[in-house]
Amino acid sequence: MRRPDRLGLVCAVPLIAGLLLPFAGLRPNRIAAPDALHLPDIFGWPAAALVGLVAVAAVLGGRGRAVRAGAALTLWLALMGLGATRLSAEASALARVSPGAGFWLGGLALALLLTDALARWRPTAVMRLGLLAAAVILLGLILTLWGDTSLLKEYANRRTIFWTEARRHMALAGGSFVAAVAVGVPLGILAQRGARLRGPLLGALTAVQTVPSIALFGLLILPLGWVAATLPGAAALGISGIGMAPAFTALFLYALLPMVVNTVAGLDAVPPAVTEAARGMGLTPAGRLARIDLPLALPVILTGARIVLVQNIGLATVGALIGAGGFGSFVFQGLGQTAADLILLGALPTVALAFAAQVVFDALIELMSKGRP
């Protein structure tokens, strides 16, 4: 007979709380206080009991937990959409249905159980990419059921702005990532080859990392504003004291340290015997770097690139404070209006992008590391 393991017992607490606490909130309009509704209030006791049994099956240990936890999480997410549709049918057009504390707690517990089960399963890199693609498709199908939730109503009211800010967010995070890779890898090679340069360079980049992100954004306003006002053509290129330019520059500066450090570490880890063999074959220093050192150091360099991309996706949110746009604009608008749905509209895509980048880079690093010494 299957029994809950240690993680199952830990996750059972928030899962039970999720079943007991309000699953959704129904508000007569966007700013009114919600009426708390439990699962039996929305679907009836038989359906709520069935959901409880599915949740219990996810808590039990043993083989097949990934399937059981995945099915339970899918059902949990789908119930939110189905419940919103049922509640909206009996309410006014201005009414909003938002996830309650029970939904978030239960969803978090099921997500933890699914993540742990997948980690124990240890899928290959290709399988992880396949699972990511399947998760994206499944999430897209579930979101078709969420049309009456307050979160998707906020999205529907801002559909055009949402995609405009999405493009700005990806341009900010992706552009600074590419610039950091293009500059950080050559700097790392120079630092690994020259002992005199390594200390001062890493010290300066470490000092940049110690500056809080909001302070760095603020510190860049004056010099970039001076450049825009003084240098001909700078403003035409988009350089200004506020907006995309200081946010891009700050993200680029933050990203340099992981890229340089990982490049140095990757080159340092090349076995001396391999270097000697390459030298014995008559390869020039440039040839050894291009054909031996960099390919062997590539997994470590890619690890730095993964850190940089995930970091930039998250930090780009703060850029909205100085007019850079991106998903952070929804987060700060939501904070100003005390609108949780608007905050989630900016936060959830950011988390999803960072998670997808992490999975893709992890798989890429594993594929690149196969068969290496």
Q: DSSP letters of 295-354?
A: HHHHHHHHHHHHHHHHHHHHHGGGGGGGT--STHHHHHHHHHHT-HHHHHHHHHHHHHHH
- pLDDT at position 5: 76
Helix axes 159-193, 150-157, angle to 10 degrees: 90
- pLDDT at position 1: 58
Phi and psi torsions of 22, nearest 5° = -60, 130
C-alpha 159/C-alpha 163 separation (Å) is 7
Q: How many CB atoms lie within 10 A of CB 351?
A: 13
Coil, strand or helix at 291: helix
345 CB contacts (<8 Å, ≥6 apart)?
Answer: 151, 154, 155, 158, 162, 327, 330, 334
Enter the DSSP assignment of 35.
E
Coil, strand or helix at 243: coil
| Beta-ladder partners of 35 | 26
Encoding tokens for residue 234? 């700078």
Torsional sign, CA 166, 323, 330, 362: positive
Distances (CA, A) of 123 to 128, 245, 356, 370: 6, 41, 16, 15
Report the predicted TM-score, pTM, of the whole model to 2 decimal places.
Answer: 0.88
- pLDDT at position 331: 94
Contact assessment for residue 300 and residue 269, using Cβ atoms and an 8 Å cutoff: yes
Contact assessment for residue 228 and residue 234, using Cβ atoms and an 8 Å cutoff: yes
- pLDDT at position 223: 85
- pLDDT at position 2: 64
Beta strand pairing call for 35-37 and 96-99: unpaired
Q: How far is CA 269 from the centre of its chain?
A: 29
Contact assessment for residue 136 and residue 214, using Cβ atoms and an 8 Å cutoff: no
Question: Tokens 């919600």 correspond to what residue?
Answer: 34
C-alpha 365/C-alpha 52 separation (Å) is 40
Torsional sign, CA 286, 290, 292, 297: positive
- Listed in sequence order, the DSSP H helices in the chain are 6-20, 39-43, 45-59, 65-89, 101-121, 125-143, 150-157, 159-193, 195-210, 213-230, 244-268, 272-280, 285-288, 294-315, 328-337, 340-369
- pLDDT at position 105: 93
Q: State which amino acid sits at residue 113.
A: L
- pLDDT at position 73: 94
Helix axes 195-210, 244-268, angle to 10 degrees: 140
- pLDDT at position 372: 61
Encoding tokens for residue 134? 């399947």
- pLDDT at position 303: 93
C-alpha 101/C-alpha 38 separation (Å) is 10
Enter the DSSP assignment of 36.
E
Grouped pLDDT means (10 residues each) for the chain, 373 residues: 74 88 90 88 91 85 84 94 92 88 93 90 91 95 94 93 96 96 96 90 92 86 83 78 88 95 94 87 88 91 94 93 91 89 94 95 86 59
- pLDDT at position 373: 56
Q: In what order do the strands lie in the sheet with 35-37?
A: 35-37, 24-27, 96-99
